[in-house]
Amino acid sequence: MVELVEVGPEDWRVWRELRLRALAEAPYAFKSALAEWQGDGDREQRWRDRLAIPGSYNVVALVDGQPVGMASGFPEDDPDVVWLHSMWVDPARRGKGVGDRLVAAVVAWAARSGARAMMLGVVEGNTSAEALYARHGFSYTGEVNGMMPDGVRRDLAMARPLGA
């Protein structure tokens, strides 16, 4: 059974564990690189600050008490739009509903926040992620959020409306 737990700055250790696992396992899927969060970047205050972004929602998925996934939502420039970020599920738990639960939780938070739309970026060719987001009402906008760190693939924008 999947349990979702909202986390904050005091939970920085579990967020750190998941984020480092995510960046190591799927470097192609994130604009941040593992090296940016290790070494001098691996400081407690940096992790706490990430979880204390004003207006953010950070959630961790647990299975049998073990952290297996993560996702975040937070506002950016437009007050009517919130973004889904840092979505990741352990490969051993993919295809078992963990990703669906995480996305649904962040979408529900976004709707409660009063935003009118939710955006995300998905790396070109990540068909599993594309299918997950499409199941939750996201579709491509035609916009490109930029290039991925490999300089080859693009980060494509997907969006879904919120509210009535």
Q: What is the pLDDT of residues 130-157, one digit of tens each?
A: 999 999 999 999 888 777 777 777 889 9
Q: For the chain, what are the domain ranges?
A: 2-115
- pLDDT category, 164, cuts 50, 70, 90? low
117: left (phi over 0), alpha (psi -120 to 50) or beta: beta
Q: How far apart are the first and last CA of the chain?
A: 31
- By the 10 Å C-beta count (0-12 exposed, 13-18 middle, 19+ buried), 154 is classed as middle
Facing residues of 73 across strands?
Answer: 57, 84
φ, ψ for residue 102, nearest 5 deg: -65, -50
CATH of 2-115, one of 3.40.630.30, 3.40.50.2020, 3.30.70.890, 3.40.50.300: 3.40.630.30
Q: What is the pLDDT of residues 32-49, one digit of tens each?
A: 888 788 877 789 999 999
Residue 110 has pLDDT above 70, yes or no: yes
Token pair, residue 92, equals 């051993």
Q: What is the pLDDT of residues 13-31, one digit of tens each?
A: 999 999 999 999 998 888 8
Residue 36 has a pLDDT of 82
